[in-house]
A and B are shown apart, each in its own frame.
Chain A
Amino acid sequence: AQSVTQLDSQVPVFEEAPVELRCNYSSSVSVYLFWYVQYPNQGLQLLLKYLSGSTLVKGINGFEAEFNKSQTSFHLRKPSVHISDTAEYFCAVSDSVTQGGSEKLVFGKGTKLTVNP
């Protein structure tokens, strides 16, 4: 079984500042990793995902994340945030080994990013 811990429930930052949203996972097997964003009163949209290969993954809207297998982390970063990045961000993991395992996402509890002017 997998689990995900998002270390900060809320992160306030000023516009144009850098931001890092932290995510750690636990799994006995290899995993796929995802970051989703949820804008107020909307569904979830994929920001980026790590399946294999390069550990630095670039996504939409200038976000990137780095997979660190030894630290079981997948932190999300953006060098300069905008007001429009205000949203809730979810880290998720799925089993990449077991047949059918990749179908089931396990989510963290979310991090609310608030970008202030």
Chain B
Amino acid sequence: NAGVTQTPKFQVLKTGQSMTLQCAQDMNHEYMSWYRQDPGMGLRLIHYSVGAGITDQGEVPNGYNVSRSTTEDFPLRLLSAAPSQTSVYFCASKDGGAGDTQYFGPGTRLTVL
């Protein structure tokens, strides 16, 4: 099992550009989520999905879109990047049971100039 994979590892964007951060998992997990990590802030939930076709907002959803067309993939879209979106982004997945462990990907470091 590769677990949770994320691409790219690093990305630099200019303000106003769009891009998609990719996330995939091969554990057949129902639940997937996106977090952002900023220095001194811990991790904050952006969006999450409890299954294919079902998504919902987390704590900091503004400026980001998600969709979940398959169990395996959960891409995060930035439609018009802003410097405030400079961060490290982590994707996570877990099985459906309450209290099950969330498994995190290696992260994407995004810089918006």
**Given A96-B99, A104-B45, does the pair A43, B40 have CB atoms closer than 8 Å?**
no
Closest to A45 in B: B104
Residues on the B chain within 8 Å of A46, using CB: 101-103
Complex Cα spacing A100 to B31, Å: 10
Query: For residues 17 through 61 of chain B, which have their beta carbon under 8 Å from a beta carbon of chain A?
Result: 31, 33, 35, 40-45, 48, 50, 58-59
B2 proximal to A (CB < 8 A): no
Closest to B45 in A: A104
B90 near A44 with CB under 8 A, answer yes
Beta-carbon contacts of A90-117 to B below 8 Å, as 1s and 0s? 1010101000101111111110000000
Residues on the B chain within 8 Å of A9, using CB: 40
Complex Cα spacing A42 to B37, Å: 12
Contacting A43 at CB < 8 Å: which of B44, B48, B90, B98? B90
**Given A103-B33, A104-B58, does the pair A43, B105 have CB atoms closer than 8 Å?**
yes
A107 near B105 with CB under 8 A, answer no
How many A-B pairs with Cβ below 8 Å?
A: 59
Complex Cα spacing A92 to B44, Å: 11
Q: Which of A43, A100, A106 is the most central at the interface, judged by chain B CB atoms within 10 Å of its CB?
A: A43
**Given A9-B40, A100-B50, A103-B33, does the pair A43, B101 have CB atoms closer than 8 Å?**
no
Residues on the A chain within 8 Å of B45, using CB: 104-106
Closest to A44 in B: B104
Residues on the A chain within 8 Å of B40, using CB: 9, 109-110
Nearest-Cβ distance from residue B36 to partner chain A, whole angstroms: 11
Beta-carbon contacts of B88-113 to A below 8 Å, as 1s and 0s? 00101010001111111111000000
Residues on the A chain within 8 Å of B102, using CB: 46, 105
Nearest-Cβ distance from residue A40 to partner chain B, whole angstroms: 12
Footprint of A on B, CB under 8 Å? 4, 31, 33, 35, 40-45, 48, 50, 58-59, 90, 92, 94, 98-107
Q: List 10 A-B contacts (CB under 8 A).
A: A43-B90, A46-B101, A49-B99, A90-B43, A92-B43, A102-B100, A103-B48, A104-B58, A107-B44, A110-B40
